[in-house]
Structure 1
Amino acid sequence: MAVQSDLSAIQGLLFDKDGTLLRYDESWGPVNREAARIAAAGGGSELEERLLDACGMDPVSGKTRPDSLFAAGTAAEIAAGFVTAGSPLAVDALTVELDDLFVRASDFSVAVTDLSAFFGRLKARGFRLGVASSDNERSIRETARRFGFLEYLDFIAGYDSGHGSKPEPGMVLGFCKAVGLDPSQVAVIGDNNHDLHMAASAGAGLKVAVLTGTGSPATLEAMADHLLGDITGIETLLPTRERA
C-alpha cells in the first residue's frame, strides 16, 4: 500500500456514495433483490437467484462481490448484466425501472455516520466537497437531502451527469474544474477499485479506501494510499487547515 506523504496539499474531498457514505449490505441488499425481481419479470425465484449471482450478489448469504456489477456498475450496466443472464426485458426499459428503484432506495439507506454533521465539520475546515457515484444524479441528490448534507456539497456527479463513468477520470476532473483545484490537491474516497482506478487515472493526490462497502483489505490495499475503517477516519488523517 503506497502512502501519500504531503497530506497538507489536499484541499478537495470527492466521496463515492454507496459503500462509502452508506453501509453497503444494509442499504443495498434488499434493493438488489428487488432489482432482480423486477428483471425476472415473473420468471420465478430460480431466475431471480441466477440474476443476483450474475451481477455479483450471493442469493443465500446476501454478500456482494467486490468490483462486481452491483458493487460498481451503473443502472445501465446492471440492466445489461441482467439481460445477458436471462432477463426477458429490454435493456433500455429495464434501465429506467432500475434508476427509479435506486432513487426510491434512498429512503431505506443506512448512513455510516451522521452525514450532516460530518460534512459540516469538513466544510468548516475549508475543504471543497463532492460526491461521485455510479448511481444516477437524482438518487445522489435525494440521498444528500435525506441525510442533510446537500448544502455542503460543491459538486455532484452520477453516471448520467455528463462526466463519464468510473473508472474513467471524468468525475474527478469535473470536480476539479468545478472547484478550481488541481487533481493533485484532491483526495478520492471510495470502497472499491473502480473508485481507486478513477482516482489514479485522473492523477488525484490521494486515494483512500474504506471498509464499509464491498471491498476488503485484500482487494483494496494494493491501490489505496490509506485504508480506513470508515469515512470518519479522514478527519484525523488530514491535517487541520484554515478555512478558505
Structure 2
Amino acid sequence: MIVDTKSAARSAAEISAILFDKDGTLIGYDASWGPVNRELAAIAAKGDPELADRLLLACGMDPVTGHVKPDSLLAAGNTVQIAEGLLAAGSSCDLADLTQRLDRLFTDAAGNSVAVTDLKAFFARLKSRGYKLGIASSDNEASIRETAKRFGFEQNLDFVAGYDSGHGTKPQPGMVLGFCAATGLPPHRVAVVGDNNHDLHMAANAGAGLRVAVLTGTGSKESLAADSDYCFDDITGLEDLLPLKAGG
C-alpha cells in the first residue's frame, strides 16, 4: 500500500460505489493482452513481421520481451487512439477499417482473457455488502459486456462504459460522472480502481473519493504512487479496505 492517510481513511468509510477499469485490473494484462497486441500489430502491418515489430515498439510494447510501458497506447489507449498510433508509426491501413477490425479483435479476445481472481464470487461479495458496481474501460462496450458475461458477474453490474458509450474517454471525467448519474451517488462516494494513470487521472478529474491502483496491469508502484491513495497487488485488497457495509 502506498498511501494511508487519515484523509484517505475517512474517504474509505464514505465509499458506496466502486468503478473498475477492466484490462489490467479485472483481467490480468500480460496473460490476456500479449497475444492480442501481437495480432493487432500483424493486422496493421498486413503481415509484414518487421513492420509489425516497429508498430509494437511505437505503441509501447517490446516485441522481444513483451513488456508494455505504463501509460503507453497499448496500456491505456482506446481503439481509435491505438489505430491512429499504428498509422502514425507506418501502417498503411485505412483508419476507419483498422478501427473496426481492432474492435472485433478486442471483443473476440474476451473469450481468452484471464481473470485476476474469481470475478463472479468477488463481485457477488461486494454486491452483498451494498456496493454499487461498474466498469469503465478504454475497450469497446461490447467487449466489456462479453467479459462480464463470460466470468458470470454481469448481473451485479450497475453501470458499463466503454470508449464508445458516449461518456467520453479517459482521463476525462465523463465515465465516472456517468456512473454517478446511474447510481444517484456523488463522486466523493465513488472509488475508482485501475492499473494505470489514465484511470487515476480520470478519478481525480471527476472528484472521486478514492483512487485505488492495482499491480496486475502495466503500472508499477513507482509509476502509480503520485496519483493513488492506495496501491494493492490486486483487486482483492479492496475487501479489507472498504467497510463491511457500503458507506451511508
Q: TM-score, normalised by structure 1?
A: 0.98
| Correspondence for 2:241 among 233, 237, 240 | 237
Distance 1:241 1:231 in 2: 17
Q: Which residue of 2 aligns with 1:24?
A: 29
The residue that corresponds to 1:211 in the other structure is 215
Correspondence for 1:36? 41
Match of 1:8 in 2: 13
Q: 1:243 Cα deviation (Å)?
A: 9.5
How far off its partner does 1:56 sit?
0.6
Deviation of the 1:5 alpha carbon: 2.1
Q: Would the aligned equivalents of 2:15 and 2:247 in 1 still touch at CA under 8 Å?
A: no
Matches of 1:237 and 1:112, distance apart in 2? 18
Contact 1:196–1:209 under 8 Å retained in 2 = yes
Aligned counterpart in structure 1 of residue 69 of structure 2, from 59, 65, 69: 65
| Corresponding residue SS for 1:200 | helix
Distance between the aligned counterparts of 2:33 and 2:49, measured in 1?
A: 19
> Where do 5+ consecutive residues of structure 1 fail to align?
none
The corresponding residue for 1:145 is 149
Map 1:77-116 onto structure 2 (within 5 A). 77-116=81-120
Runs (4+) off by over 6 Å: none
Instruction: Kindly provide the CA deviation profile for residues 28-87 of structure 1, in whole angstroms up to 9, marking residues without a partner as x.
Output: 000000000000013x11100000011110000001100000000011100000000010
> Could you state the TM-score of these two structures normalised by the residue count of structure 2?
0.96
Measured in 1, the distance between the counterparts of 2:205 and 2:43 equals 35
In the TM superposition, residue 194 of structure 1 has moved relative to its aligned partner by: 0.1
* 1:132 counterpart (136, 144, 154): 136
Q: Is the 8 A contact 2:16 2:247 kept in 1?
A: no
User: In structure 2, what is the Cα distance between the partners aligned to 1:107 and 1:241?
Assistant: 33
The one-letter amino acid of 1:233's match is G
Shift of 1:173: 0.2
Query: Which runs of no fewer than 5 residues in structure 2 stay unpaired?
Result: none
**Equivalences, count:** 243
Sequence identity, in percent? 63
Indicate whether 1:198 and 2:205 are aligned. Answer: no
Map Cα deviations across residues 168-197 of structure 1 (whole Å, 9 max, x no partner).
Answer: 000000000000000000000000000000
Contact persistence 1:129–1:155 (CA under 8 A): yes
* Superposition deviation, residue 101 in structure 1: 0.1
Q: Which amino acid in the other structure matches residue 92 of structure 2?
A: P
Alignment of 1:145-224 (within 5 A): 145-224=149-228
Contact 1:125–1:243 (Cα < 8 Å) also in 2:
no
SS in 2 for 1:22: coil
